């Protein structure tokens, strides 16, 4: 069976990780990546020996790219023409413009959480609604926080039923290496309900969700606390059994040294993970407690890498490579090395 040909538009924080993810999928072929300028990520690609072909998405920047030593294989249109599906990781709003190109050329595309829901036929999550993405032309992923949150809520919902959730998101303010948010020493409240709760209800409409978000002056990962009201009362042991069985949820303990987000980032680097990336969210064992009939717990979201598996799931659904949630996610997990 011929490999599905995939291109990545936007070679930034998410795009470069999408390229890595696709390259690891043995039933997919990464045709190339596209960007508009010799950014640090693109310069890093050059220093790495150009493992992927590069396509210029902004013709007027060709001389800048050549001056930076970037070999150009063609235009964005040239890349799209060769692909079955595009992963669009461009800045919010750019993907919607690129959609016109994808539609004109009859190609499928997967957009990231920053785009408006209207850009796609399906608001997609690999575990919660895989089958809704089957054969669709345009899919949009949830944000990093929503992606990890849905993994946990969906697992509980399938096991014991979830009626409602209340979340608090302690949100990192920027990605490592970013300066556009400035140098801060403050916490900032966001208005409720947070979009993550609203997005969860869009994908899981039977769950009543609300949430509060607090911006924090850190860069490595978000932490979400979840209070879930389940149809069948569960305790800590039940929760550990249910969530611990999920391939994309890693259970950790404070007593083992996992004190917070920085501990998990360091652990990933110590394991030799490329860029310190973890595909799994982390569930703190000691955070799991009952509040009346509800269950409460805390999870860590590695914002730079958490959505990569669900993007691979989206390709599988759109291209109908696997027809069920279990088969599709299992193939993604296998090639990404998720146990």
3-state secondary structure (DSSP) of residue 150: helix
Q: What is the DSSP string of 70-98?
A: --EEEEHHHHHHH-SEEEE-PSTTHHHHH
- Report yes or no: 196 and 212 within 8 Å, Cβ to Cβ: no
**Can 83 be counted among the known catalytic residues?**
no
325-336 and 15-24 helices, crossing angle to 10°:
100
CA dihedral 123→125→128→129, nearest 10 degrees, is 50
Strands (E), 57-137: 72-75, 85-88, 108-111, 122-124
Residue of 109, 144, 307, 336 marked catalytic:
144
Other Cβ atoms within 10 Å of 59 Cβ, number: 10
Other Cβ atoms within 10 Å of 320 Cβ, number: 13
Interatomic CA distance for residues 191 and 44, integer angstroms: 38
At 9, list the tokens. 């538009």
Interatomic CA distance for residues 3 and 194, integer angstroms: 39
Interatomic CA distance for residues 244 and 281, integer angstroms: 11
Question: CA 67 from chain center: how many Å?
Answer: 33
Interatomic CA distance for residues 325 and 57, integer angstroms: 34
C-alpha distances out from residue 272 to 12, 264, 278, Å: 21, 13, 11
Interatomic CA distance for residues 276 and 265, integer angstroms: 6
Cα dihedral sign for 169, 170, 171, 177?
A: negative
At 288, list the tokens. 């799991």
35 is in an annotated binding site: yes
Q: What residues form the annotated binding site?
A: 35
Q: What residues form the annotated binding site for NAD(+)?
A: 35
Catalytic residue IDs: 144
């Amino acid at each position: 069976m011929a490999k599905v040909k995939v291109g990545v538009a936007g070679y930034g924080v998410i795009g470069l990780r999408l390229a890595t993810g696709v390259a690891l999928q043995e039933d997919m072929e990464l045709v190339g990546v596209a960007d508009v300028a010799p950014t640090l990520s693109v310069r890093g690609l050059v220093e790495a020996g150009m493992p992927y072909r590069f396509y210029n998405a902004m013709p007027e920047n060709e001389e800048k790219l050549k001056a930076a030593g970037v070999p150009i294989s063609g235009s964005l249109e040239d890349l799209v023409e060769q692909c079955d599906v595009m992963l669009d990781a461009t800045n919010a709003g750019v993907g919607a413009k690129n959609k016109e190109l994808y539609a004109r050329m009859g190609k499928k595309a997967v957009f990231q959480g920053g785009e408006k829901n209207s850009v796609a036929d399906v608001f997609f999550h690999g575990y919660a609604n895989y089958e809704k993405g089957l054969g669709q032309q345009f899919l949009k992923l949830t944000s990093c926080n929503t992606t990890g949150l849905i993994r946990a809520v969906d697992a509980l919902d399938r096991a014991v039923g979830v009626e409602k959730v209340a979340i608090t998101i302690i949100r990192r303010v920027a990605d490592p290496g970013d300066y556009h948010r400035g140098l801060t020493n403050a916490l900032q409240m966001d208005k409720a309900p947070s979009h993550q709760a609203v997005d969860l209800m869009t994908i899981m409409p039977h769950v009543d969700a609300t949430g509060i978000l607090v911006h924090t002056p850190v860069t490595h990962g978000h932490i979400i606390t979840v209070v879930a009201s389940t149809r069948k009362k569960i305790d800590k042991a039940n929760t550990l059994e249910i969530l611990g069985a999920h391939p994309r949820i890693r259970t950790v303990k404070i007593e083992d040294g996992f004190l917070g987000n920085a501990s998990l980032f360091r652990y990933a680097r110590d394991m030799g993970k490329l860029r310190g990336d973890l595909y799994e969210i982390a569930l703190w064992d000691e955070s799991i407690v009952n509040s009346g009939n509800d269950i409460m717990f805390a999870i860590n979201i590695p914002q730079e890498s958490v959505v990569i598996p669900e993007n691979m799931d989206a390709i599988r659904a759109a291209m109908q490579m696997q027809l069920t949630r279990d088969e599709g996610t299992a193939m993604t997990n296998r090639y990404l090395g998720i146990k």
